[in-house]
Structure 1
Amino acid sequence: MLRRVQSTSRVAVVRRGSTARLWTRNRNDISDRFPDIVAAAEKQLPDGSVLDGELVILGADGRLSFDALQQRLVTSPAKARAKAAQLPAAYAAFDLLAIGGVDLRTQRWTARRQRLEQLAAGWAPPLQLTPVTSDVDDARQWFEVLPAAMGVEGLVVKGAATRYTPGRRDAWVKVKHRETREVIVGGVIGPIDRPEVVIAGRYRAGELVMVGRTVPLSVADSHQLGAVLRPATRGHPWPDEIASVLWGGKDSKKPLTKVRPDVVVEVLADAAMQAGQWRHGLRYVRYRADMQPDDVPTLSEPSEAG
């Protein structure tokens, strides 16, 4: 069985008595940030039900917007209702863990899905059901069309007989859709002649801005790229240190080796974006000796990076 992956925040909805709460994977209660989802859950879910799903917000371009979700998450409770009207969210459920107080996690995925579909038959927005398919051709079409059309990251493949095991991912596989992109090497982590990670950039209004970083380079790629990099001259706009991880990590920093921004490389990137940067590590493909920085697309808006 397959379901779509969406570039969003995974959240459990728990309905007990007359109240509903939203819980993140880190066990943070974010109910006061999403009063619209809470109200819908209290109205449409029966007592003793627990859903697993994702919060989603569509931007003006019709694509899923992680930035909009972040705005909702950081909004103060006092302003949450106004922000909900400005950036309405939806909740896309993909699993049912309990209903009527009965734990369903030991049941097969197909049984849980059937119960979830029965429950969702009476829903209205902002509650919705994440679509699934067992048809390989449908899955391939989703995989090719949805990332470009909606910003969906890819697919999750699940076994029909699997049980729900908290904290374990061996019962499902995430298949991310990646496309090649050209970026400018603005800096690296590690020595300039043996770079470990590329810090990618693109220009916006004449200024080189960071748009992402690669996963660690192979030894061969490091040697190839290190042979063409040159130290940056004065006036390089980037800081001397950079966060040691992409997102959500501690405040530890690593030295940034700034380089002359005249080398273009090809990377593989998925559709997940936040604050104008790729949220997940880019995969280095090759050095583009045939391209100049002027050949790389520029950024027209703060939220755009590809």
Structure 2
Amino acid sequence: MIRGSGQRYLPGARALYKVRCRDSTEAVVGAITGTVRRPQTLVLGRLDAAGALRAVGRSTPLQPDAARELAEWLSPAEPGHPWEGVRFTTSWGSRTPLDVVLVEPALVSEITVDTALERGAWRHPVRFARLRLDVAVADVPPFGAGAEPASG
């Protein structure tokens, strides 16, 4: 929260401004809402130290152009997906289940994120920036690393 250098504190007044810093980083697309041909949001993950895909966030709704581009590359998950049986919720702290479609965790997405992490996941929705077809899943920063760039 900030206020002007010459501005004094005014009790009860909305005189402060919230400024958020967003960073760019990468994550693996592990699931979506919608369908493989019409994705609506992404459920993203990163590999932990043991090599397991751990959820790190969910995107805001995709723009139509981004959804069309992603639909060209998404494929339904094969049996044995790391998130089989995992229950996702509609928002942070919610108990309302989120209906997801598991996809092959082979695509890397560049995302913009804020700095609020809790237990390795972003508390606020992330924003899809673009697909990173030039980055391998193994090059994505590890689970819990925050907004580091990919090493690839």
- Per the normalisation by structure 2, the TM-score is 0.84
What does residue 89 of structure 2 align with? 243
What does residue 257 of structure 1 align with? 101
Give the 3 Å change call, closer, same or farther, for CA 226–163 of structure 1 in structure 2: farther
Q: CA RMSD in A?
A: 2.2
Larger radius of gyration: 1
Query: Partners in 2 of 1:289 and 1:233 — Cα distance?
Result: 20
Q: Is the 8 A contact 1:183 1:202 kept in 2?
A: yes
- Long gaps (5+) in structure 1: 4-131, 136-158
What does residue 164 of structure 1 align with? 12
Query: Partners in 2 of 1:175 and 1:226 — Cα distance?
Result: 34
Query: Partners in 1 of 2:108 and 2:4 — Cα distance?
Result: 40
Q: How many residues align?
A: 144
Q: Secondary structure at the match of 2:17?
A: strand
TM-superposed CA distance for 1:172, in Å, is 3.8
What does residue 45 of structure 2 align with? 201
Query: Partners in 2 of 1:207 and 1:180 — Cα distance?
Result: 23
Q: 2:69 aligns with which of 224, 232, 238?
A: 224
Encode CA deviations 1:33-91: one digit per residue, 9 max, x unaligned.
xxxxxxxxxxxxxxxxxxxxxxxxxxxxxxxxxxxxxxxxxxxxxxxxxxxxxxxxxxx
For residues 107-146 of structure 1, the aligned pairs below 5 Å read 134=5
- Long gaps (5+) in structure 2: 147-152
Give the 3 Å change call, closer, same or farther, for CA 207–284 of structure 1 in structure 2: same
Q: Secondary structure at the match of 1:227?
A: helix
Q: Secondary structure at the match of 2:66?
A: helix
Q: Is the 8 A contact 1:211 1:305 kept in 2?
A: no
Query: Partners in 2 of 1:174 and 1:217 — Cα distance?
Result: 25
**AA partner of residue 274 (structure 1):** E
Bigger fraction of residues in helix: 1
